[in-house]
Amino acid sequence: MFDAATKLNPELIGITLFNEWYEGTRIEPAASKKNKNFIYEDYGKDPWFYIKETSVSQISF
């Protein structure tokens, strides 16, 4: 989505999000956690993956 937005040549791009784990929409650092009813997933090897990806895209933009 970020790549598509940059192709429109905007002056500004805003990133609005909610960390809705059950919907798979999150960007904050993540660590796996389990409770009685749900397993909260992590990002694999790097809990900062999406923060870093957004940062790289921002610098490139």
What's the CA gap between 44 and 30, in Å, rounded?
Answer: 9
- φ, ψ of residue 13 to 5 degrees: the values are -125, 125
Residue 13: name the closest of 23, 1, 25 by CA: 1
What's the CA gap between 27 and 51, in Å, rounded?
Answer: 6
- State residue 54's pLDDT score: 75
- State residue 10's pLDDT score: 85
What's the CA gap between 10 and 58, in Å, rounded?
Answer: 13
- pTM exceeding the 0.85 threshold for the entire prediction: no
pLDDT in tens, the chain (61 residues): 777 888 888 888 777 766 665 666 666 666 667 788 877 777 677 777 777 777 766 655 5
